[in-house]
């Protein structure tokens, strides 16, 4: 997509934001915005902070539950037409493996998908060695757009095309709705006992870096507001170079994953047309600008497609590519999840293991991501706004 039309798309797709402002929705507003609103309504600034706390930490769903605010102020908000307006879970599909897929309803009636995976997914969360029994562990997979404009031809979300961007509140609201459903405690809020080990992966529907500002605002709401550690969040991009460059400038940010999916441009361009715009070398160069902190590593995601990119020569080429990049990185291998209307083959189990071994032999850390919730269409790349796959 040319830069000019990108702008146009963003403008049109951000329309719902204006709609929620008109609807006077509070959920999704930043602390500054809430403080300003308090002032406008003739209240002290700290009332804004209390709203912030109530929305994201206490996860209230209506104004009456904002008990820190005086009744009078709550009435004033309500009379002025303000509502909490957080997205709601309207449908749940439960997998035999404990994974749950949700349809989350937005203000305009559209739905988006969010997934809860108990015990992580063996990839992003799999290296966490702390498995004290007192902590519940789970990973929440969050969507950033309704549909997606990147046309990766192995992915079901791609088939939807892009319907619209999600607002910051719609992105963060998926998380608070799921946390509330599981009554989960995150961060180190005092007096709430041992926090659960909840990881967030922005790997649901959509390309987060095509909706950069809203995505980053949602990240801050979840970090400062909900109290989720930045190191427990990972955003995945298909390789939008200007997005990676902007991301590299952020002071506080989640971890970064890149959907590489091929060992060279020729194979990648066939399965990810975005490669023609931003070849692998450009992506690597942008990644070098991201300052990795402490033990942080980048993640290269690699979807294994039978005979397309899953052979030993591919693993060897990938190992060289990662090593030559000089980046501190690991590879997360994802077995392609099949579905109707997409003509790829799953890789053979022995090829998957051989691929991992080849990477490890070349001293590239490699993990195999466990497929989760296949029976309810909740696995990677299966998210498509649909109710057909009722479990």
CA 337 to chain centre: 18
- In the bound complex, what is the minimum distance in angstroms from residue 332's beta carbon to ligand SAH? 8
- In the bound complex, what is the minimum distance in angstroms from residue 304's beta carbon to ligand SF4? 14
The residue within the footprint of ligand SF4, chosen from 77, 158, 200, 262 (CB under 6 A), is: 158
- In the bound complex, what is the minimum distance in angstroms from residue 381's beta carbon to ligand SF4? 6
Whether 309 contacts 341, CB under 8 Å: no
The residue within the footprint of ligand SAH, chosen from 211, 238, 309, 356 (CB under 6 A), is: 238
- Regarding 211 and contact with ligand SAH (CB under 6 A), the answer is no
Query: Which of 129-162 are b and which e, b meaning 16 or more Cβ less than 10 Å from the residue's Cβ?
Result: eeeeeeebbbbbbbbbbbbbbbebebbbbbebeb
Comparing C-alpha atoms, which of 226, 88, 100, 210 is closest to residue 161? Answer: 210
- Regarding 303 and contact with ligand SAH (CB under 6 A), the answer is yes
The residue within the footprint of ligand SAH, chosen from 142, 262, 334, 378 (CB under 6 A), is: 334
**321 bridge partner residues:** none
Distance CA 166, CA 262 (A): 29
The residue within the footprint of ligand SAH, chosen from 259, 309, 325, 356 (CB under 6 A), is: 259
Residue identified by tokens 């969050």 is 142
- In the bound complex, what is the minimum distance in angstroms from residue 138's beta carbon to ligand SAH? 18
Report, in this order, helix, strand and coil percent for the chain, each rounded to 5: 40, 20, 45
Q: Closer CB to ligand SF4, residue 125 or residue 203?
A: 203
Distance CA 332, CA 125 (A): 11
Distance CA 304, CA 263 (A): 11
The residue within the footprint of ligand SF4, chosen from 95, 111, 238, 382 (CB under 6 A), is: 238
Region of 294 please: left (phi>0), alpha (psi -120 to 50) or beta. left
The tokens describing 253, both together, are 């940010």
- Regarding 155 and contact with ligand SF4 (CB under 6 A), the answer is yes
Residues 241-300 that bind ligand SF4 (CB under 6 A): 259
Whether 163 contacts 170, CB under 8 Å: no
Residues 192-211 that bind ligand SF4 (CB under 6 A): 206-207
Q: How far is CA 254 from CA 54, 150, 199, 367, in A?
A: 23, 22, 11, 20
Q: How far is CA 226 from CA 47, 106, 202, 207, 216, in A?
A: 17, 20, 16, 23, 14
Total site size for ligand SAH, rule CB under 6 A: 17
The residue within the footprint of ligand SAH, chosen from 50, 176, 337, 356 (CB under 6 A), is: 337
Q: Closer CB to ligand SAH, residue 52 or residue 247?
A: 247
- In the bound complex, what is the minimum distance in angstroms from residue 301's beta carbon to ligand SAH? 4
The residue within the footprint of ligand SF4, chosen from 157, 176, 199, 214 (CB under 6 A), is: 157
- Regarding 380 and contact with ligand SAH (CB under 6 A), the answer is yes
- Regarding 114 and contact with ligand SAH (CB under 6 A), the answer is no
Report, as residue numbers or ranges, the catalytic residues.
Answer: 113, 380
- Regarding 203 and contact with ligand SAH (CB under 6 A), the answer is yes
- In the bound complex, what is the minimum distance in angstroms from residue 138's beta carbon to ligand SF4? 22
Instruction: Name the site residues for ligand SAH (rule: CB under 6 A).
Output: 148, 154-155, 203, 207, 236-238, 259, 261, 301, 303, 334, 336-337, 380-381
Instruction: Name the site residues for ligand SF4 (rule: CB under 6 A).
Output: 148, 150, 152, 155, 157-158, 206-207, 238, 259, 381
């Amino acid at each position: 997509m040319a830069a000019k039309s990108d702008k146009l798309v963003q403008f049109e797709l951000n329309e719902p934001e204006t709609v929620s402002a008109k609807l006077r929705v509070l959920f999704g507003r930043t602390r500054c915005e809430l403080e300003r609103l308090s002032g406008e309504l003739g209240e002290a600034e700290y009332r804004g902070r209390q709203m912030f706390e109530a929305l994201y930490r206490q996860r209230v769903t209506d104004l009456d539950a904002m008990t820190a605010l005086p009744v009078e102020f709550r009435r004033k908000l309500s009379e002025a037409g303000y509502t909490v307006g957080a997205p709601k879970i309207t449908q749940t599909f439960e997998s035999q493996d404990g994974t749950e897929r949700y349809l989350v309803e937005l203000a305009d009636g559209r739905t988006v998908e969010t997934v809860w995976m108990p015990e992580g997914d063996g990839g992003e969360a799999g290296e966490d060695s702390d498995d004290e029994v007192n902590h519940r562990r789970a990973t929440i997979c969050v969507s950033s757009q309704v549909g997606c404009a990147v046309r990766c031809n192995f992915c079901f979300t791609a088939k939807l095309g892009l319907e619209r961007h999600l607002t910051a509140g719609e992105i963060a609201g998926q998380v608070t709705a799921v946390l509330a459903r599981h009554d989960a405690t995150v961060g180190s809020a005092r007096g709430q006992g041992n926090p659960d080990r909840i990881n967030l992966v922005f790997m649901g529907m959509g390309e987060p870096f095509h909706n950069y500002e809203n995505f980053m605002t949602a990240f801050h709401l979840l970090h400062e507001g909900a109290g989720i550690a930045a190191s427990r969040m990972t955003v995945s991009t298909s390789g939008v170079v200007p997005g990676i460059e902007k991301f590299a400038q952020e002071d506080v940010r989640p971890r970064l994953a890149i959907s590489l999916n091929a060992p060279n441009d020729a194979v990648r361009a066939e399965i990810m047309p975005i490669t023609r715009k931003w070849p692998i070398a450009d992506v690597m160069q942008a990644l070098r600008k991201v300052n990795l902190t402490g033990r942080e590593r980048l993640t290269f995601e690699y979807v294994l497609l039978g005979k397309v990119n899953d052979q030993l020569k591919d693993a060897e080429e990938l190992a060289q590519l990662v090593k030559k990049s000089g980046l501190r990185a690991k590879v997360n291998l994802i077995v392609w999840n099949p579905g109707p209307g997409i003509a790829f083959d799953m890789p053979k189990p022995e090829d998957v293991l051989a691929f991992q071994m080849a990477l490890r032999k070349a001293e590239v850390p490699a993990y195999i991501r466990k497929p989760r919730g296949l029976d309810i269409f909740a696995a990677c790349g299966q998210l498509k706004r649909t109710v057909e796959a009722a479990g």
